[in-house]
Structure 1
């Protein structure tokens, strides 16, 4: 088995089983690509593609697994080459982070500002996604590390550890009947139209679950995936919302008032996710230490 065979396999899959298009992309002849695919199938004793005559018309179930493994091997090769280039210096390179928009905008911003000053020659590639997307990016090597609340299913080869706790608060329009209250009950919150995070994010799931646990069924009039949008809807008088405290700034968010909900909604925990066995550059370790409470020497 050679890397060139795996490259041909991935190229054929990427070009909708078009061998001629794959060959052109690889700057090879069509016959060369066909021979390498046949040789790979023979060596593995595995039929990867379904054929009608000389045409590829589909992918077998085993073939789908083989293509996925081939992609992973090609990605690992590229990552290894990039690592070799980047390890030449600990002062430059690219740090790839995958997180949710909420963490990127609020919790990680102070660390990002500090890191940019400390490592001006390191480029930050910050990608956003849902928690499941974050962990998948870490598992495939598309991100050096992730930050999010961890979903129930953690991909193989991914390890996680605590970064920081997250409390909730209730936000209401400045002129709302609850605006002057210092505390409220969950029953009182449930009486009003609610704006919430989408349940694919942990915050939305936690809030809805807590209402259900108390036998309450409030009306969720709007669901959103961005804290800024949630606050804007509340300020416009469209409802009230339970949000993470880190997303509220009394100086910036002047159209809304925050009310303490300690003891009503459980504290969530943001976690750092890393690919097991992945070597970490010094600047990656330092960035994580800027926001995470855990000692990396103890968890790795």
Structure 2
């Protein structure tokens, strides 16, 4: 079939032009080459496709039947080629991203907006979850890539850091007095603490750091939403651990105040994760290039 495809294309052009010479001009071939292609096709199919006359050629009954199907088949091939070109030019396709609510709202949104503006034909599917859930999405093939709190240690995943973040403690007006001088972890942990749930990667990172210093967490509130964390702190229900870069508006407005620690928590990063063993789509590659 593959060997005959060029013959079918030539046959289709001859059928449309009703002339070997006109078909040859359109195909940038010699008239002899066009004629030989049709003869070979007729031999392959063991039928006569054209009536040859001094004025040109006309299709036989068999030729008419073949031309109906060839026209349809070549049309489908042309559509398929156009679709492939659209994929290559990022005019169509889908990009599935796993990301948590906090990173999505406070970090990822501008990148999503820009990508959608540049490539409106790419369907964006956002899968929400914790870092653990996002890694499961990636490994199961449900997500092309994930934007996660690092560190992530998975040998099957490629991890690309893309933003440095700083964990800090903040308070509302009621506790503002403790922001006047740096305080120790021992003093801090005696205060009413508000943290995200234990399954949060941010919570696990800070908790692991404090445990290395010999301290155990015992929060009065454990919340599933970063926005709630900020609001609970704002109305003085306790002191919370937040990401400084995601809390700038609250700090700049004076709704919350940063507590100075004698020993700052080490900075960490947000990163892009994807499977090493699965080639990225062109859309995924472009999105990663945009974020880097």
Structure 1 and Structure 2 fold alike (TM over 0.5): yes
Deviation string, structure 1 residues 45-81 (Cα, Å, up to 9, x no partner) = xxxxxxxxxxxxxxxxxxxxxxxxxxxxxxxxxxxxx
1:166 aligns with 2:165: yes
List runs of 5+ in structure 2 lacking aligned partners. Answer: 1-82
> CA distance change for structure 1 residues 97 and 171 in 2, over 3 Å: closer, same or farther?
same
Q: Which has the larger radius of gyration?
A: 2
Q: Where does residue 256 of structure 2 map in the other structure? A: 256
- Output the TM-score relative to the length of structure 1: 0.61
Q: Where does residue 122 of structure 2 map in the other structure? A: 122
Deviation string, structure 1 residues 131-175 (Cα, Å, up to 9, x no partner) = 111111111111010111357663x74332322222112110123
1:141 aligns with 2:141: yes
Q: CA deviation at 1:97?
A: 0.2
> CA distance change for structure 1 residues 128 and 86 in 2, over 3 Å: closer, same or farther?
farther
8 Å contact 1:171–1:258 — kept in the other structure? yes
Rounded to whole Å, the distance in 2 between the matches of 1:247 and 1:100 is 13
Rounded to whole Å, the distance in 2 between the matches of 1:226 and 1:144 is 25
List runs of 5+ in structure 1 lacking aligned partners. Answer: 1-82, 293-300
Deviation string, structure 1 residues 90-144 (Cα, Å, up to 9, x no partner) = 1222211001212111121221222122222222111111111111111111101
> CA distance change for structure 1 residues 262 and 272 in 2, over 3 Å: closer, same or farther?
farther
**Structure 1 residues 250-289: aligned runs within 5 Å:** 250=249, 254-261=254-261, 263-289=263-289
> CA distance change for structure 1 residues 226 and 189 in 2, over 3 Å: closer, same or farther?
same
Q: Where does residue 228 of structure 1 map in the other structure? A: 227
Report the number of matched residues.
209
- Output the TM-score relative to the length of structure 2: 0.63
Rounded to whole Å, the distance in 1 between the matches of 2:226 and 2:156 is 31
8 Å contact 2:92–2:122 — kept in the other structure? yes
Rounded to whole Å, the distance in 2 between the matches of 1:209 and 1:224 is 18
Q: CA deviation at 1:203?
A: 1.2
